[in-house]
Amino acid sequence: MKFPPSRFWLALLMVPGFAAAAPKEAGLEERHRALLKENCQNCHGPEKQKGKFRVDNLPPIIRSVEDAERWQKVLNAMNSAEMPPEEEKQPDPSKKADFLEDLAQVMVTARRTLGDQKGVIALRRLNRREYRNTLRALLGVEIDVSELPSDTGGPAFDTVGAALFLTGNQVEQYDALAREALEQAFNLQSTANLQKKLRCEAEAIQPVFLKKSREAWETWKRATKWIQAVDQAAAKPENAQIVAGLRETAKTDDKLRYSWHKIPGAPSPVDFGFEQQAAVNPAIIYVIRDSTDFMSYDDYYVGLLGRDTGSYLTIFHSNLGSGGTGVTSEIRLSIPKDFPPGDYVFRVRVGATADAPAERRFFEFGLHGFFGGSSVLSTHHVSASMDEPEVVEIPYTVTRKNQELGHRHLYIREKGAGNTQGFVAQKIQEARNRLAPGPEVALWIDWVELERKNPAELPPGMRALGIPIDPKTPEVGREELRAALDRFIEEAYRGVKAPEGMIDRLLGIYESRKALGASHRESLNETLASVLSSPRFLYRAEPAENGKHRALDGLELATRLSYFLWAKPPDPELRALGVSGKLFDPGVLEAQTNRLLDHPDAVYFIRPFLTQWLTLDRLDLFQFSQSLYPKFDAAVKAAARQEVYETFGTLLRQNGPLNALLKADYVVVNALLAQYYGIKGVNGDAFRKVAVPAESPRGGLLGMAAIMAMGSNGERTNPVERGAWVLRKMLNEPPPPAPANVPEITRLAGKLLTTRDRIKAHQEEPQCASCHRKIDPIGFGLENFDATGQWRTKETYQAVDAAGKPDPKARKTWTIETASVFHKGPAFKDYFEMREIIAQKREGFARGFSSALVEYALGRPCGFSDEALLENIVRLAREKDFGTRTFIHALIRSKEFQTK
Amino acid sequence: MNRPLSRRHFLRTSTALIALPALESLGFRRFAAAAAPVSRPKRMIFLGFGWGVTHESWYPALDQKGADYTLPVALEPLARHKADFSIVQGLWNKYNGNGHYGSTFWLTGANEFGEPGQSFHNTISVDQVAADHLGKDARFESLILDCGAAANGSGHGQGLSLSWDSRGKPMAGPKNPLEAFHRLFAKDTTPLAQQKAMLAQRRSILDNALENARELQRSLGKTDNDKLDEYFQGIRDIEARLSQDEKWLGVPQPEPPMEEPAPGLAGYEEIKLMYDIMVAALQTDSTRVLTYRQPVSTLLTSLGVRIDSHTMSHYHGKGPEYLEASIKRDQAQCELLAGLLDKLKATREPDGSTLFDHTTVAYGSNIRTGHSLDNAPTLLAGRGAGIQPRAQPRRPQRHPALQRLAYPAPRLGSPSRAPRRQHRRHPRPSGLGGGERDKR
């Protein structure tokens, strides 16, 4: 094992390390003993030991799992109202609430103390996203890893080694994925210089439109002609008696025609080109006769100028009849079969019509799925006019899946055009209201195109391999192969050489596979796949003697740094600095950290870190009701989530103060989100800083739609969830986990109450009050944000049944009351005052953030033994006005980051 | 192709075509009673449903003793099976204190905090103990089924399925009906000689993997090696599977007694199909122990309920639609279970008995309702364990009842017959459904 030539971190020993921190003790304050003595000891004391349980000799400090279990029993029994028994004397409610609050906190401390890994980092497997990134960095291909366990969803970050399990199933999946990745990498190499480009002129669909339109007319005419013919037959005097008989049950003409076959001379619908079905059920024909909206809408479309050089996008719904404009709602491009997988760019030349309203200047780019569903991949703003269209570029990665039938059709359509029940229905209704033939078109497309971005160079893994993989290659010499494997392994193992004997074994695998009749390429694939499913690749090993801390070597430091900030292996520059040991120079280390943070790949840190730290995955737990919140559609939701990343990313790039997340006088938005927030003058898809006035509720996490939306259930706000989130994430005073077996409050079931009144019931029971008195007031202070983060002053509750049907009698509207008081803290009269109080808590916020950062970066829980480390990070950051980047520099400079 | 090897016996029964591989001719011991009056193998099914039940309408009243009790609303879809299942009340997984973990410790009874210096700890699950006993002679020692991504919103808690291996690590298996179907019935049409050669090749790849791991192992400290041990175990699991494959080499996969499921189903239809596959697996004697971690979030969506599943589980004190959604969930789940029991009863064994006669179904969660973990919902069905069907009276809390399911005890309540041998084989035997022994 190589050690760094110079150990700069030794200089940092002045900073207290993990050994210096005094362990925090988990013990209940003495004052609470009185409650136990008074209310429990009679049955659970020296005299009587009901259930063989005593409270008088409970250990004052929890030092073992057994101690913890005894105290946990006390907490459980009191939370579940099992103890004291109903018929016995009950403690004073406020004392009980205090007791439970403190005991719950003690248990949290105890669990953390007992679970403290004391700085030991368990061997880290590459988590799912690191694995994907690592394969891409090595082989230059994008692999679908969705079959692997996500590694998220537990209480820990997905970087924590102890929580990253591995099963036999997974090993087999790794093997299969490696083979797939290698196959693609081989293909990529053989097609590296193949240039591909396809442009589809949008006007090409105009003839299809016209044909469809004509057909719709034609069908309508056939329908009316058949009706006429039947009516004529029915009007004949010789049929009068038959018709009179039929009239007895068929009161209207439409009903009469159901019996057309009983009227002599009446023709069958089949004679008019309809299916047999229509002959049995003429309602099919009536629907066609009655759907005449398409005629005027088609006429309107035909009259538009510019159809010779492009196409307008319509928003289409079957309510408009099946006219020609169904065709023009999308411009498609089918990926040709001979376009190899790899990176592409999709371009759209687009402009908005002169009177396109702001909300309709967006288009969606997506892929039609095989099972009917079409996934929207991204949404884009159109700022150009039709006269001077712009070219919007969208990066797209073609994978092997795209070559399957049903995964080849890329499309663009107006944003919301797929939301037939919400947006489309609304636009059609609006058009009807102003007597327009249909929604006016807003976007004009000149063309769409797909062009391959040829790889500039071979990916590192293939470059290292450096032997032909062409299927025609008959023989590669054994020594040549040995050298190739040696180079490939070093690259795959992130700079670590192949251990002795490994290459011989691999050559054995290669040769026995060939002996089974496989080609060179197949055999090589299998051989390399076994490198990519070996533990040296799947785990980030930092060998060390038992239980001993040691300094990382340069290569290990480079790897840690790279996985921290890029979630992938170090690039050649970083690796070289690691190997030479120059990376230990604080100046070099800082420069490299800055380089990594300035690189676009820093999103591989920003996204997963923020998603997990701020629990943004809650946004995907539920559907947002499109009938209640038509504006909060999938595109806005995606942009709202992006706002969180972009805001943090901006702070990180500019080393802005972390506390800008508590409150700021700006937001970081793009055109779509600016429109959602009612901010004018923002164009394009790029997120940028936009100033907001002081009286705006926006600016900082609390004003973000994503943060407020995840504190809801998609229909209504959830003040408890929001309050607990603020305590956890912003104030760094996390409430203990929701206790089990607290009796539910059910007496309010089915009653029409304001949200606040319903939640106030928490104060009735000490078991609930012990936590909720801290949580709920903050939730109340945020009630001006609805379930999708829009500002409101009134709220309505409309009771519905499980199928979503509203009950008109069960409805209540009230003015939202946000004034409240922090538990044992200041009062506030509204959201703005509350935000001001929270914005003062910069220290707590900085500590909470640092602790999350430590866990994420070091891959182990941040324990009490990390107190000194946290102290140090926060101190260094404070000296630089809590500059966001300063936290990261401080952590990377720490002994903990540079020690195994 | 060697004819005798691919020969199969077909036994036509009243309802199904059962194919039995002629194992004796291969030198294996007779594992299934094709003709001889040997008792049929015991089977076990464990079904976990995460977010508990509607407390008010799921549990039978306790004052009605015996089998003649009134069936609560939520259980009504099970009415036709009333004489054949029990609701066991008063169970509480002693150490579980996490109101969002319906399944993590359901079959293990472990203490999450039981290992100092670790923030999470679990032990072997009861199905794996059972598989050790019952599963050896089947093609798959156990079949572990899961619902993939839907598990996250379904109240199951940590884990990859209901099953945990002997070291308390999560186990994984097929995550949708199609995957499960392929696992069971995928045809390998490669000639036998080549299959053998491929197995040998797979072996040498595994040997290489083990060698790579050993090389790394030598340089690591204890904590890291504990982690790397998962890799070794993973390889050993694959090896065990290969050996199993080898034993069955040349024995054609059984004919699936059902159609290949359509891909992409979610919720109600997905669970229904999974149940069909479970019956098919038992019918073809492909496995004898099954676990299935069912989806709840997608079940609600498929029932047209728009409330998210976590909020639904906290229906108390909310609008009537929440309670309604919760009951709807219970009824749908019971309807599905009733369908499974129908199938088990309708599927004949070669000796004329039914699958139901030899199968034990345990159906439940650690969560009762909301965050409440006491009186964990537990339904037992099937005659495999000889349980007397009725609404069982309340037993003392914290009673380790599920443990008995792993052993063919004559009835619940008789002294545990957990053999001592077991305790030696598994380092932490106390994790059998009943909670660990106190370490005092």
Mean pLDDT, to the nearest integer, of A298-307? 91
Which pLDDT does position B429 carry in this prediction?
A: 29
* A811-845 tens-digit pLDDT: 888 999 999 999 999 999 999 999 999 999 999 99
Quick one: which H or E segment has residue A226? helix A206-235
- Residue in B172, B134, B122 with CA at minimum distance from that of residue B432: B122
User: Cα–Cα distance between B41 and B24 in angstroms, integer?
Assistant: 17
- N-terminal to C-terminal alpha carbon distance within chain B: 62
**Structure confidence at residue B270 (pLDDT):** 95
Instruction: Select from B321, B366, B373, B438 the residue whose CB has the most chain A CBs within 10 Å, as the one to mutate to test that interface.
Output: B321
Hey, of A75, A109, A123, A512, which one would you mutate to test binding to chain B, going by the most B CBs within 10 A of its CB?
Answer: A123
DSSP B392-410: PPPPPTT---GGGGGTT-S
- With beta carbons less than 8 A apart as the criterion, state whether A742 and A768 touch: yes
Question: pLDDT at position B4, please?
Answer: 33
- For chain A, give the mean pLDDT: 90
Contact: A738, B208; criterion CB under 8 Å: no
Residue B388: predicted pLDDT? 67
Residue type, B19: A
Q: Tell me which of A837 and A763 has the higher pLDDT.
A: A837
Return the pLDDT at A115.
81
CA dist., res. A279 & res. A730, Å (int): 68
Q: What is the Cα–Cα distance from A205 to A310, expressed in whole angstroms?
A: 9
Q: Is the CB of residue B11 less than 8 Å away from at least one CB of chain A?
A: no
Chain A residue numbers touching B171 (CB-CB < 8 A): 167, 169
Closest-CA residue to A75 (of A45, A50, A51, A106): A106
pLDDT reported for residue A756? 87
Q: Which residues of chain B from 259 to 278 reach within 8 Å of chain A, CB to CB?
A: 263-264
Q: Between A286 and A810, whose confidence is greater?
A: A286
Count interface pairs A-B at CB distance under 8 A.
258
CA dihedral A434, A437, A439, A440 (to 10 degrees): -100
Q: Residue A166: how many CA atoms within 13 Å on its side-chain side?
A: 28
Mutate to test the interface with B, among A147, A169, A556 (most CBs of B within 10 A): A169
Residue A340 has pLDDT above 50, yes or no: yes
Predicted local confidence at residue B19, as pLDDT: 33
CB contact under 8 Å between A530 and B373, yes or no, is: no
Residues B211, A65: C-beta atoms closer than 8 Å:
no
CB B147 within 8 A of CB B154: yes
Instruction: Please tell me the distance in Å from A502's CA to the nearest CA on chain B.
Output: 7
User: Which run of H or E residues covers position A362?
Assistant: strand A362-368
Residue of A nearest to B262 (CA): A371
Q: What is the pLDDT of residue B63?
A: 79
Phi, psi dihedral angles at B115 (to 5 degrees): -115, 110
Element (H, E) at A800: strand A794-800
Where is average pLDDT lowest: A620-624, A842-846, A876-880? A620-624
Residue identified by tokens 């946290």 is A870
Note whether A76 contacts B97, CB cutoff 8 Å.
yes
Q: State pLDDT tens for residues A380-418.
A: 999 999 999 999 999 999 988 887 777 889 999 999 888
Most confident of A39-53, A315-329, A382-396, B314-328: A382-396
B397 Cβ under 8 Å from any chain A Cβ: no
> Collapsing DSSP states into helix, strand and coil, what is residue B253?
coil
On the CB side of A323, how many CA atoms lie within 13 Å of its CA? 25
As a whole number of Å, the end-to-end CA separation of chain A is 13
Nearest in space to B123 (alpha carbons), one of B103, B104, B108, B107: B108
Distance separating alpha carbons of residues B82 and B379, to the nearest angstrom: 11
Interchain proximity B212–A804, CB inside 8 Å:
no
User: Which chain B residues have a beta carbon less than 8 Å from that of A741?
Assistant: 371-374
Compare CB distances from A154 to B158, B233, B328 and report the shortest one's residue: B158
Cβ atoms of B155 and B52 closer than 8 Å: yes
Of A535, A744, A802, the CB nearest to B328: A802
Q: Find chain B residues with C-beta within 8 A of A535's C-beta.
A: 209, 212-213, 216, 228, 231
The two tokens of residue B353 are 């008995």
- Best to test chain A binding among B224, B314, B324, B369 (most A CBs inside 10 Å): B224
CA distances from A674 to A391, A413, A619 (A): 22, 21, 20
Decide the pairing of beta strands B43-48 and B289-293.
parallel
Comparing CB atoms, the residue among A167, A535, A737 nearest residue B228 is: A535
CB A874 within 8 A of CB A846: yes
Contacts of A280 (CB under 8 A, 6+ apart): none
Which two three-digit tokens encode residue A189?
A: 């190499």
Please indicate whether, in this complex, the C-beta atoms of A509 and B160 are within 8 angstroms of each other: no
Are residues A167 and B99, on separate chains, in Cβ contact within 8 Å? no
pTM summary value: 0.83
Report the candidate in A372, A376, A353, A356 with the shortest Cα–Cα distance to residue A364: A376
- Each residue's pLDDT tens digit, A352-384: 999 999 999 999 999 987 555 568 899 999 999
DSSP string for residues in A298-335: HHHHHT-TTTTT-EEEP---GGG-S-GGGGGG-EEEEP
Question: Is the CB of residue B230 less than 8 Å away from at least one CB of chain A?
Answer: yes
Whether B224 sits inside 8 A of A541 (CB atoms) is yes
Q: What is the pLDDT along chain B (440 residues), one digit of tens a residue?
A: 333 322 233 322 223 333 333 333 333 333 343 444 457 889 999 999 999 999 889 998 887 777 778 899 999 999 999 989 988 888 888 788 888 899 999 999 888 888 877 778 899 999 999 998 888 888 899 999 999 888 888 999 988 999 998 888 889 889 999 999 998 988 777 788 888 888 888 888 899 899 999 999 988 888 888 889 999 999 988 888 888 888 888 787 788 888 899 888 899 999 999 999 999 999 999 999 999 999 999 999 999 888 888 888 888 877 788 888 999 999 999 999 999 999 999 999 888 899 999 999 999 999 999 888 888 999 999 988 776 666 565 454 443 444 444 433 333 222 333 333 222 222 332 333 333 333 32
CB of A800 within 8 Å of a chain B CB? The answer is: yes
Phi (first) and psi of residue B76, to 5 degrees: -50, -40
Q: How many residues does chain B have?
A: 440
The verdict on B318 touching A (C-beta cutoff 8 Å) is: yes
What is the per-residue DSSP string for A59-118? -SB--SHHHHHHHHHHHHHHHTT-SS-TTSPPPPHHHHHHHHHHHHHHHHHHHHHHH--T
pLDDT tens-place string over residues A484-525: 999 999 999 999 999 989 999 999 999 999 988 889 999 999
pLDDT at A336: 93
Measured between beta carbons, the chain A residues lying within 8 angstroms of B153 are: 621
R_g of chain A, CA atoms, integer Å = 34
How many angstroms away from the CA of B339 is the closest CA of chain A?
Answer: 24
A68 touches B: beta carbon within 8 Å: yes
Residues A601 and B357: their CA atoms lie apart, in Å, by: 60
Q: Provide the angle, in degrees to the nearest 10, between the axes of the packed helices A766-781 and A831-839.
A: 100
CA-CA distances (angstroms) from residue A480 to A253, A466, A487, A737?
Answer: 88, 10, 11, 60
How does residue A858 score in pLDDT terms, banded at 50, 70 and 90? Answer: very high
Is 90 exceeded by the pLDDT of residue A713?
A: no
Any chain B CB within 8 A of the CB of A805?
Answer: no
Q: Report the alpha-carbon distance of residue B367 to residue A738 in Å, rounded.
A: 13
Smallest Cβ–Cβ distance between A741 and the set B233, B320, B374 belongs to B374
Please judge whether B230 and A538 are an interchain contact, meaning their C-beta atoms are less than 8 angstroms apart: no
Partners of A689 in beta bridges: A668
In this complex, is the C-beta atom of B195 within 8 Å of any C-beta atom belonging to chain A? no
Interface of A with B in 822-861 (CB under 8 A): 861
* Cα of A426 to nearest chain B Cα, Å: 21
Number of Cβ atoms within 10 Å of the Cβ of B91: 26
Q: What is the mean pLDDT of residues A247-251?
A: 89
Among candidates B98, B99, B197 on the partner chain, residue whose Cβ is nearest the Cβ of A516: B197
Phi, psi (deg, nearest 5) at residue B259 = -75, 155
Q: Higher confidence at residue A425 or residue B426?
A: A425
What digits encode the pLDDT tens for the residues A562-618?
999 999 999 999 999 999 999 999 999 999 999 999 999 999 999 999 999 999 998
Burial class (CB in 10 A: 0-12, 13-18, 19+), A268: middle
